[in-house]
Structure 1
Amino acid sequence: MALSLAISPCPNDTFVFHALVHGQVPGAPPVEVTYADVDVTNTAAERGAFDLVKVSYAALPWLLDDYHLLPCGGALGRGCGPLVLTQPDRYRPDRDHADREQADHDDGGRADGARADRADLTGATVAVPGDRTTAYLLFRLWSAGRPPARIEVVPFHEIMPGVAAGRYDAGLVIHEARFTYPRHGLTALVDLGEWWEADTGLPIPLGAILARRGAVDPEAAAEWIRESVRRAWADPAASREYVLAHAQEMEPDVVDRHIGLYVNEFTADLGEAGFAAVEALLGRAADAGLVPQTSSSRATAWTS
């Protein structure tokens, strides 16, 4: 019987799951794969639609009764957080941060506003890729639980063009947008991953892999995924055609940078730091009243 799998078409997912999807993992069942943006898979997981599914870590509090969190295959790391983008000079950081940015610029660092962790977006219209995405949860934590007056959920590929055209005052973006936003004439007002890492010292938990309870053995599923990751790293060229076919017209250079950033040691195993990051994200969000309370054992004991 085939295993139903839902992942995004992004290069990190197709790179990681290439061997599993193509029947190259010994002992793994055949796989029927669905490709969808994470906002779609978050909703589908609530219906129990897939045996294995990629979701946002922010969605876990609504899903752990029906799914196991697997310790591998997802997206978690450093220097890979969501960005808040605006048109140049549309919003400015407070004076203290403007001074620090100038100091960074004088030292040869970035001076594009990406460290403006107290920039004021009150009253702005902000386009976000989903209301249960980790990106949006980080945005709400950054803004102290008081997001701008108007939030619009927008398909990811429409956010940067919409901000550039003035339809939205700002846009919350993820993934390859880290590499491509200057092409749209936009500037990074804040790097939420940079803010999170500075505040917690932990990596950023973005996307999780879940196994549906009663449908698939989580220990076996974790080993299948780890073997798929090992094969991807051992022979990156093997998945090249498959990855590019689903990369939504990304240039090969952007694809390579995307994989290099989001497929890392946490993809093979979350480890102590990875699980600590998940606990910190969900704990802070629950304390702020943004998500339901989730016990740390429920969130991280994937074999329970």
Structure 2
Amino acid sequence: MHLSLGFSPCPNDTFIFDAMVNNKIDTKGLTFDTQLEDVETLNRWALEGKLPITKLSFAVYLKVKEQYDLLNSGSALGRGCGPLLIAKRDIPRDEIKDLTIAIPGENTTANLLFSIAFPEAKKKKIMVFSDIENAVLNGEADAGVIIHENRFTYQLKGLVKLMDMGEFWEETTGSPIPLGGIFIRKDVPADVRAKVDTLIHESLQHAYRHYPQLSDYVKSHAQEMDEQVMRQHIDLYVNDFSLDLGTEGKAAVTSLMEAAQKLRN
């Protein structure tokens, strides 16, 4: 059976899926057509039900739950890995509601976490995550919510952290931060869904057996990063929750969904 699969070109995703999509493990008769896109593009596609298997921000889960189920393996969820609110200078928190904030997509968990922390902040500028640092530097935005590898580069550009959105979430809920998960369309047969979940788990186990070595597949999709930043990225976003969400991970996702529902009401 041939299936289309969408995930981001970021090292955490390519690290997880490398063995599965490049036939380094037995895929049990399944083959995959991969679509590597920014997560906000994948979020938008999911609203149309475009891909049968896809990485999504957990923030979009409420909007697609009639079409997609969450798999146990492949998620980005943990502690100390949340998005950061950054600016060129320190800004008092009570002024943030009046600022123009660059965000990495309307449907991203980063935007949801920012909205939970600053519900009155409405002046948002949506852009690709990799453009946000420069937007703040050149004055297009007063501050920005950064994700992915930008956590490791913003200080080198002279930017300062106003808030760690992940720390805010952890302090207020006690839960790890659910950033993104792997979802499968409900029209995919149940036995195939179970097989895909198992393959993602096995693919990540294969990657861990060879780590800290990085495959050409991971490196080729992270061309602007040096290998140290790639490993920092993987170490931050890939963990035991990526192998299996488990009870704690599923409870954290439920907490985020409840918070998102409150914002919508």
Per-residue deviation, 1:153: 0.4
Name the aligned partner's letter for residue 86 of structure 2. L
Question: Does residue 176 in structure 1 map to residue 177 in structure 2?
Answer: no
1:165 to 122, 126, 138: 138
Question: Does residue 33 in structure 1 map to residue 34 in structure 2?
Answer: yes
- Using the alignment, how far apart are the partners of 1:251 and 1:161 within structure 2? 20
Q: Which residue of the partner structure matches residue 79 of structure 1? A: 80
- Using the alignment, how far apart are the partners of 1:28 and 1:203 within structure 2? 35
1:285 to 241, 260, 264: 260
Q: How does 1:115-130 map to 2 (within 5 A)?
A: 119-130=94-105
Question: Does residue 245 in structure 1 map to residue 220 in structure 2?
Answer: yes
Stretches of 4+ moved more than 6 A in 1? none
Larger Rg: 1
Question: Does residue 46 in structure 1 map to residue 47 in structure 2?
Answer: yes
- Local SS of the residue matching 1:176: helix
- Local SS of the residue matching 1:121: helix
- Using the alignment, how far apart are the partners of 1:25 and 1:215 within structure 2? 22
Aligned sequence identity (%): 40
- Using the alignment, how far apart are the partners of 2:29 and 2:75 within structure 1? 18
TM-score by length of 2: 0.95
- Using the alignment, how far apart are the partners of 1:260 and 1:124 within structure 2? 33
- Local SS of the residue matching 1:285: helix
2:128 to 155, 168, 171: 155
Name the aligned partner's letter for residue 44 of structure 1. W
Question: Does residue 146 in structure 1 map to residue 120 in structure 2?
Answer: yes
- Using the alignment, how far apart are the partners of 1:33 and 1:74 within structure 2? 17
The answer as to whether partners of 1:18 and 1:239 remain within 8 angstroms in 2 is no
TM-score by length of 1: 0.83
- Using the alignment, how far apart are the partners of 1:49 and 1:25 within structure 2? 26
- Using the alignment, how far apart are the partners of 1:52 and 1:151 within structure 2? 30
Question: Does residue 135 in structure 1 map to residue 136 in structure 2?
Answer: no
Q: Which residue of the partner structure matches residue 235 of structure 2? A: 260
Per-residue deviation, 1:120: 2.9
- Local SS of the residue matching 2:106: coil
Per-residue deviation, 1:25: 2.8
The answer as to whether partners of 1:70 and 1:209 remain within 8 angstroms in 2 is yes
- Using the alignment, how far apart are the partners of 1:48 and 1:42 within structure 2? 10
Q: How does 1:221-240 map to 2 (within 5 A)?
A: 221-236=196-211, 239-240=214-215
Q: Which residue of the partner structure matches residue 193 of structure 1? A: 166
The answer as to whether partners of 1:68 and 1:218 remain within 8 angstroms in 2 is no
Question: Does residue 274 in structure 1 map to residue 242 in structure 2?
Answer: no
- Using the alignment, how far apart are the partners of 2:32 and 2:6 within structure 1? 10
- Using the alignment, how far apart are the partners of 1:122 and 1:62 within structure 2? 26
- Using the alignment, how far apart are the partners of 1:120 and 1:240 within structure 2? 45
The answer as to whether partners of 2:58 and 2:108 remain within 8 angstroms in 1 is yes
Per-residue deviation, 1:248: 4.2
Distance 1:229 1:46, change over 3 A: same
- Using the alignment, how far apart are the partners of 2:97 and 2:203 within structure 1? 45
The answer as to whether partners of 2:101 and 2:124 remain within 8 angstroms in 1 is yes
- Using the alignment, how far apart are the partners of 1:168 and 1:28 within structure 2? 49
Aligned CA RMSD, in angstroms, stands at: 1.4
- Using the alignment, how far apart are the partners of 1:154 and 1:195 within structure 2? 23
The answer as to whether partners of 1:28 and 1:224 remain within 8 angstroms in 2 is no
The answer as to whether partners of 1:48 and 1:66 remain within 8 angstroms in 2 is yes
The answer as to whether partners of 1:84 and 1:191 remain within 8 angstroms in 2 is yes
Q: How does 1:47-62 map to 2 (within 5 A)?
A: 47-62=48-63
Query: Which structure 2 segments of 5+ residues have no match?
Result: none
The answer as to whether partners of 2:130 and 2:150 remain within 8 angstroms in 1 is no
